Chain A
């Protein structure tokens, strides 16, 4: 290599080295510049996203596994502002198909992407059908006008759909008063949805999702919320709801409430009341439940029960050995308790009676006398043990404890003992009455009303156990009273009697207090009954509020009991007494 060549090579080498050094220095300058920090931060923002992963809300089933509350996919419709070509068409389409306000949608879709906003929400909870219609319209516009932007071209370009799950109720209004509902934000209101909101909703997690495929990490497994199996029998609930609706129409009642319970376990098999709401249209709540109407009268509605309460007065008297079924009583038509004169429902005097006759003819005078014989302290101690003035512990939201005034309370007077004996001057809920009377139907054991049979979590089913709330009366008292009430129905040939099944029961007619006393002619009519008497499988409670065709429970509520029993024995596969006994003997 001659000198000239060496010089040339050296010069080239120096130039290339200088160039390389320049590149390296420039790289270092860019990396270390203040703008680099900003760029890195921006890069970090776009490298992934923090995403809230909300598990699917747990489902609710009836006792046979029929879905009462599930989930369905709905969409959030929004626009990527950079891609929007025609905000007018987008706003028109959403207005026509989804019902979004045109002005709102147009304003959102017309935002300038340069302002930093890249996405705008136009509508939430768009259904699958609406999404498909919008997509078809978008495709139609693209076919007609092409994908070129222009003043005359119509386009839905930029419209995006983000899916999510929303509560859905396949049975619509069936058992709506028990289930409650979930609002747009996923919060449970009323009933099971409110009481078990935390368990049904599951645990929401905040997870970093990397967009860099080289940094993909395993996403944490987020289990769905717990599912619930209820004690409700769907078919029975449906039948009882039909009877409620029919009864309201036929009796002209303001409302009707019917509870069917298995007295052995406390399982609520059906709980129907009015009004009911199609839970898929929960936003109509205010329209359906006007004023202070309770969502579920069976647990939140309090009222004076009237003569059905005599069952518990007589239970306390029999259990405390104050009276026997044969104890004589001379009914003179009036009795004074604490300065208040109490009269019978017909203001008549029924003459010589025994306790069976007192219950059969529903004599207020006799039961007031019985309560005074039991004594105030003992009587209220029994009523306290029966659970009045306390929550029953049923798994439903917004349960009302009612009110039982007791000696020592500032507003209790001696006269209250006389009126409480026949169910006036006391505020109870239907579910409290059912729980208390379950003691009479279940060998003295009072059961906690149960509505949740099982909780299913991560594939495992946890069954709940029936709970005994207490034993307010003895086994013998329960049997004795059941026998008395079955006989009294049979003697008076009550319209509550059911062919083939021996049932025990009691009617109730209660006056409704006004601010000026019991001056209204309106009543609460009720009936409580259970059967078969030798092995009770059902306890039915009927409450009709302000019936107009007749004020008497024996006229309007007793036939409802009969109708309910005739339907439920079929659904329970419960044979008539003679067949059942024959089948049992053959085993």
Chain B
């Protein structure tokens, strides 16, 4: 019996060691929780920062769009018919009369019939995707493409 007790005593851990293990386990958990919390905080903070930047960019976009409209209109005011006529008159130009006109034939020249302010529908080239498929396809799509769909032949049969 004494032998059994001594063996049990020999293989059992000292109380302080057990407490140390519990404390270690607790600290490990605490560190893990802190780590997860830290990562979560870091990610959410970055997301919030980027979210704020996105909000700012939307505000900036609105401002830029308004600015473009303003500048187009300002340019139109500066080049309006009245202003151009006044500037021409200041520079000494006068309206030309039909008998003062000299007509010269320019081979190949065709006067445009109207302004072109946009592309002609149906003639626009389809836009190239900006991102490679690797950046947009899911892992499942990638696997299916690589595993199940037939690969391109290594050799192309040459025909005479």
- Residues of A at the B interface (CB closer than 8 Å) are 56, 59, 61-67, 70-73, 128, 163, 165, 168, 170-172, 174, 212-216, 219, 227, 229, 234-235, 238, 453-454, 456-457, 459-463, 498-500, 566-567, 569-570, 573, 575-576, 579, 583, 586-587
Contact = CB atoms under 8 A, between A and B. Distances in A.
SS class of chain B's interface: helix, strand, loop or mixed?
helix
B114 A454 contact: yes
Contacts of B72: 59, 67, 70
Interface string B107-142: 000010011111111001000000000000000000
A498 B99 CA distance: 11
B52 to A, nearest CB: 5
Contacts of A587: 105
Contacts of B120: 460-461, 463
A4 to B, nearest CB: 18
Contact of A235 (B55, B65, B81, B98): B81
Contacts of B74: 72
A275 B12 CA distance: 110
A234 B81 contact: yes
A61 B85 CA distance: 19
Given A67-B76, A170-B76, A165 B81 contact: no
Contacts of A216: 51, 54-55
Contacts of A62: 115
B96 interface: yes
B95 to A, nearest CB: 8
Given A64-B115, A214-B44, A459-B119, A70 B98 contact: no
Contacts of B69: 56, 70-73, 165
Given A170-B76, A579-B103, A586-B105, A569 B98 contact: yes
B26 interface: no
A24 to B, nearest CB: 18
B22 interface: no
B123 to A, nearest CB: 9
22 contacts: A62-B115, A70-B72, A71-B70, A73-B70, A171-B76, A171-B82, A213-B49, A213-B51, A216-B51, A216-B54, A238-B82, A454-B114, A459-B118, A460-B118, A460-B120, A461-B119, A461-B121, A463-B114, A500-B98, A500-B99, A570-B95, A576-B98
A461 B51 contact: no
Given A67-B72, A219-B58, A229-B114, A460 B119 contact: yes
Contacts of B58: 219
Given A214-B47, A235-B81, A460-B121, A170 B115 contact: no
B51 A214 contact: yes
A73 B68 CA distance: 10
Given A163-B66, A454-B117, A573-B111, A583 B51 contact: no
A587 B95 CA distance: 30
Nearest to B107: A587
Contacts of B97: 566, 570
Nearest to B55: A216
A109 B81 CA distance: 43
B69 to A, nearest CB: 4
A72 B67 CA distance: 8
Interface in B52-87: 52, 54-55, 58, 63, 65-67, 69-70, 72-77, 79-82, 85
A128 B58 CA distance: 22
A63 B76 contact: no
Nearest to B63: A163
